[in-house]
Structure 1
Amino acid sequence: MKINKYISILCMIAISLWMSSCTSFLEENPLDEKTDGQFWRTLSDAQTAVNALYFGGVPYLHNIDVDGGWTPKATMWGGVMSGLFVDKRKDRTFTNASEGGNFNIESFNSTSLKIWTEFYIGISRANFVIANIPEMTDVLTPAQIDNFVAQGKFFRAYAYFYLVKEYGDVPYIDFPYNSLEGIYQERVPAAQVYQHIEADLLDIIAGNALPNIAFYDNGGYVTRPMAQTLLANVYLQWAGAPVNGGNEYYTKAANMALNVINGGQHALIHPSGTTNDLNSAYNIIKTTKDSNEIIFAKEFNQTSFNVGNSYAVRSIETDAFQWGIFKPGGDVLYNAYLPCDMLLNSYHPSDIRGQEKQFFFWEYTSPDGEDFELNYAGNWAWFDEGSLINGRNGDYNMPTFRYAEVLLIAAEGLARTGNEGDARGYLNQVRTRAGLANETASGDALIQSILTERFHEFPLEFKIWDDIRRTRLYPEADGMQSGTLRWVPLATAAIQNKPEGSTRVGAIPEHALLWPIPLSEMQANPLLEGNQNPGWS
């Protein structure tokens, strides 16, 4: 990441007319303050406004937790709700309600408000960039204006994509608020929100505003492949429930993924097969800040800029404190996202991803050579030995989009629309890297294989809840270490960990796949009153 992005954040300017609820970021010890009339005057102003897009909105989900304290981050909430991952501390209403299958507004309102608010913070920032940057012709070149506006449109689309996934119909706001006029907006049908997202992304993909290079080659800023990958994800979700766009959007998802594949800017690490040691592709994914497998990542740099990754303390059980090695300063060591045994046991023995110190781990050797065993699987993809020993947050980035996901989007879109040969080809690229034999299935078995591959490839990158929502399918065991899962209708599936250690059929009602509209938003906005998502009471 370019240093000026961090410096700009550390010296963040508070702009009073940017969203009044934005207290966690824009008001974080500003070294200077400007009113809206004083802002948008210099290149530095423009860069500060654009850089803020990377630290609020959807990227800020990596910072939000459940009512403070030692709890799962917002990125983990869907996995906890699914039961496929367990919050071992269970000291907040949300996580206990999820395990109990008590999907009611009382238990979920405060968490819903956090993500709703953060998405609209990101949208507000993007709208200010999109509206104001084009007026800065006296200090910005046409190319700079186009690029900054394109970044604004990317993050506006990104925030609305999360809103429509999480809530369905939502208010659509595409202008900055400079007064209270027009502040109340009604919910727009989800299909229309998707159309707005598509328009923003197609606009910035079509032009030359975004560089057609890899993410890290662009200093961590938005690229064309990054926008194409987001749009491929949008189409995949749009194709499924609850909008049910169907084959038209599966085709669009595949075609957009193929644009990334054929563009050549990104590739798999160790595509012909990787090792099962600390030099494996999966360990490179964990530690890299230069690989072109990464299409987009949430960036961290604790060492130089005090913007640190705190996932490490959530990667391993509390009992590890007894080893006397780790000292996570100001925090508690615990596994907030413990993978269920069903997932861990479903990896084929030859699948490198399920082996020791790839995505998960069960053993640890201290710097002094002392060996320890974990009582539960730890999340090796998040484990950062140096940060835990030295009592600090870490420097590892968190992948958001990887090239492996693009291959699997192409595979699914093609498989669902009858092009099974090419679908297997893209699927098998991911399987080959993991040490697996080629898939030869067709029909529903091929779709099931692709969904399983997504779960096995991205267990700690927060994809599973979206896959459950769009397919209305849930993974069940299909034999010990078989390498396969059975994806069955959610309504009749045996849901994991409802409560922990037990399965319960039908423990996730369909209404729980969308969050409730926060009560405070419904009370404040008369156009939302009485328009709650069905099923929440």
Structure 2
Amino acid sequence: MKKLLILMMALGFLASCDDFLEEEPRSEMSVDQFFSYPSHAYNAVNVLYRTGAPTFYSTGVYGGSRAMLGGYISGLFDNDYKGQEVHVQHSQNLTLNGDNLAGYFDGAWDACYLAISRANLAVANIAETPDLTDSEIKQLEAEARFFRAFNYYYLVKTFGDVPLILDAYNSLDNLYVERTPVAQVYNQIIDDLKYAVDQGGLDNLPMPANDFRVSKATAATLLADVYLNISGYPVQNNSYAEAATAARQVINSGNFSLIAHGATESESAYNVMRLSDVEDEYIYSIEYDASISENYWQPAICYPNSATAWGIFKYSITNNAYKPMPELLWIYDDEKDLRIQEKQFFHSSLTYMDGDEEVTKTFEISPYLWHNDEALFETGKNNKDMVVYRYAEVLLIAAEAIAQSEGVTSEAIGYLADVRARAYWQTDRSDIVAELTGLSVDEFVKEVWKERLRELSLEYRIWADIQRTHMFPVTNEANKGEVTFDNVVGHTTVWGKSLAEKHLLFPISENERQRNPNLTQNSGY
């Protein structure tokens, strides 16, 4: 009995030790702990503004931003530092594959799926968070769904079929997910965006007027863009009418307008875009504050690498990381179009004081839209937001979608004329309307494509438009402002390389394929 008593006491002591040694971590929270207060739900959504695809618009001084890759493969943009930036070399030479750019594509794939995982977690738990009102639940879920859609949109346009994961991971089961067909991924993107538009209770406002949070217009604009894209390749599901409906939700709200020109060219709408973060034209902006998270090197890529030697910038290096090729610049009529004039979208000279002497430097044409005097010459820190979607693009989406679904109506003509008239600032708008009136649907749609090229040239839409239309823009120095379109498959780029069907999608990293044996590679790689 004594031995039995001693054994029972020992077992009891061990059990009490187990209880004593059980700890609740203070430095991290489980999912059950995390969604305990409204602030937790807000934090779960707030982090999505800075995870995955939104970060691809911020640039490095050497390699540019991930959003620039399509411009490189088109041959219409160059990078002064491509000697060391192999993703630029392989894109221009059309030699990219899942091995030689494995690390580069890993970065995009991993970042997007991290964002999607966080969005899935938010969607699964927001409604269960105590003390959130119904309107807060709807708003936060709408924002989470927007970012899930935004990241899947990047993935599906970049890689085609991708694994569609909608559940929050809470175990190691089902890690090796197969690729989901493009059409099915797009259906989920549309479902998420329709929820945000129709059920999120979001205000239909410009983002700056909405405390820089996703608004109904943000979701509707992305939805219109998605419908426009699936109407083309590779899905070819005629959704132009739906694109028009989504775009009209923004237009008919009356809350948006194109930035107007000031009294001088230095006060043009395009210079306002360069300087201001609070315009009614902005539908989705990525917000920056240099004291918290700055927009890094964006101003420094407004000058060639040789400008570093001038010794006048607060940045240690400059690099024309998204240098427009002449074939790109020829899309503009250099007599009529304000956008191609010096210090509008682009520039090629700088005048500054060196002591008592005025010095003027000239250089190859570089982007000016990202130029920031304060960051370049005073602080070395850039506060400027990156605008991803503008009202001008909504008007162009509406013009194309209406023409394709309803014909070349006065409404469609008006939207295209609004954008073009701002650029052709010395041409009467009625003359522009007259030129567009009477065009066939095909002729009018090509005019919209041309205007997209000109208006969105520094907003990374060129490759996406080539993908969906299968048409490559062709220009000629002798006829600046004139653009024709060539079948992209078989088109020879300015680098003498012939584009093939496979190049319309990028390869999946072989590193990722080794991690997930159920992933297949894109055809041709």
Tell me if the contact between 2:275 and 2:372 (Cα under 8 Å) persists in the aligned partners: no
Q: Which amino acid aligns with 2:323?
A: L
Task: Report matched runs for 1:31-430 at 5 Å.
Answer: 33-63=28-58, 70-90=62-82, 91-136=84-129, 138-245=130-237, 248-270=238-260, 277-302=265-290, 304-329=291-316, 332-348=317-333, 349-366=335-352, 370-390=358-378, 392-421=380-409, 422-430=411-419
Aligned identity (percent) is: 36
Preserved contact between residue 331 and residue 482 of structure 2 (Cα < 8 Å): yes
CA contact (8 A) 1:346 1:479 kept: no
Structure 1 residue 63: Cα displacement:
4.1
**SS of corresponding position for 1:107:** coil
Deviation at 1:267, TM superposition (A): 1.1
Distance in 2 (CA, whole Å) between partners of 1:74 and 1:308 is 14
Higher Rg of the two aligned structures? 2
Q: How far has the Cα of 1:480 moved from its partner? A: 3.6
Q: For the residues of structure 2 that align with 1:507 and 1:315, how far apart are their CA atoms? A: 30
**CA distance in structure 2 between the aligned counterparts of 1:404 and 1:494, rounded to whole angstroms:** 31
Distance 1:479 1:420, change over 3 A: farther
Which letter maps to 1:465?
W
Question: Whole-Å Cα distance in 2 between the matches of residues 339 and 276 of structure 1?
Answer: 25
- The structure-2 alpha-carbon separation of the partners of 1:455 and 1:275, relative to structure 1 and needing over 3 Å to count, comes to farther
- Counterpart code for 2:517: P
How far has the Cα of 1:466 moved from its partner? Answer: 0.3
**2:524 aligned residue:** 535
Letter of the 1:73 partner, please give it: S
Counterpart contact for 1:412–1:423, Cα < 8 Å: yes
The residue type paired with residue 521 of structure 1 is E
- Structure 2: runs of 5+ lacking an equivalent: 1-25
Q: What does residue 27 of structure 1 align with? A: none
- CA deviation map 1:39-62 (0-9, x unaligned): 112222222111101000111113
SS at match of 2:375: helix
TM (normalized to structure 2)? Answer: 0.88
Stretches of structure 1 that go unaligned for 5 or more consecutive residues are 1-30, 499-503
Query: Normalized per residue, which structure has more helix?
Result: 2
Find the residue that maps to 2:104 and give its secondary structure: helix
Determine the C-alpha separation between the residues in 2 that align with 1:220 and 1:32. 30
Aligned partner of residue 120 in structure 2, secondary structure: helix
The answer to whether the 8 A contact 2:492-2:499 is kept is no
Between the aligned partners of 2:33 and 2:380, the Cα distance in structure 1 is 38
With over 3 angstroms needed to count, the CA separation of the structure-2 counterparts of 1:527 and 1:63, relative to structure 1, is: same
* Superposed CA RMSD: 2.0
Q: Which is further off, 368-377 or 94-103?
A: 368-377
Task: Give yes or no for contact 1:58–1:158 (8 Å, CA) kept in 2.
Answer: yes
Q: Secondary structure at the match of 2:517?
A: coil
- How far is 1:320 from its partner? 1.5
Shift of 1:310: 2.1
CA-to-aligned-CA distance 1:129-150 (integer Å, 9 cap, x gap): 10111111x2211111111111
Query: What are the superposed Cα offsets for residues 338-376 of structure 1, whole Å, 9 maximum, x if unpaired?
Result: 001122233111111111111001121225673423320
Q: Which moved more, 1:343-352 or 1:385-394?
A: 385-394
SS at match of 1:296: strand
Deviation at 1:190, TM superposition (A): 0.5
Q: Provide the C-alpha distance between the structure 1 equivalents of 2:200 and 2:234, rounded to a whole number of angstroms.
A: 34
| Residue type at the aligned position of 2:391 | Y
- Counterpart residue type for residue 48 of structure 1: N
Paired position in structure 2 for 1:8: none
Q: Deviations for 1:78-117, whole angstroms, at most 9, x for unmatched residues? A: 1111110001111122111122221333333222111111
Q: Contact 2:353/2:359 (CA < 8 Å) preserved in 1?
A: no
Q: 1:473 to 1:276 in 2, by over 3 A?
A: farther
Q: Secondary structure at the match of 1:361?
A: strand
Letter in 1 for 2:132: L
How many pairs are equivalent? Answer: 486
Compute the displacement of 1:64 (Å).
6.8
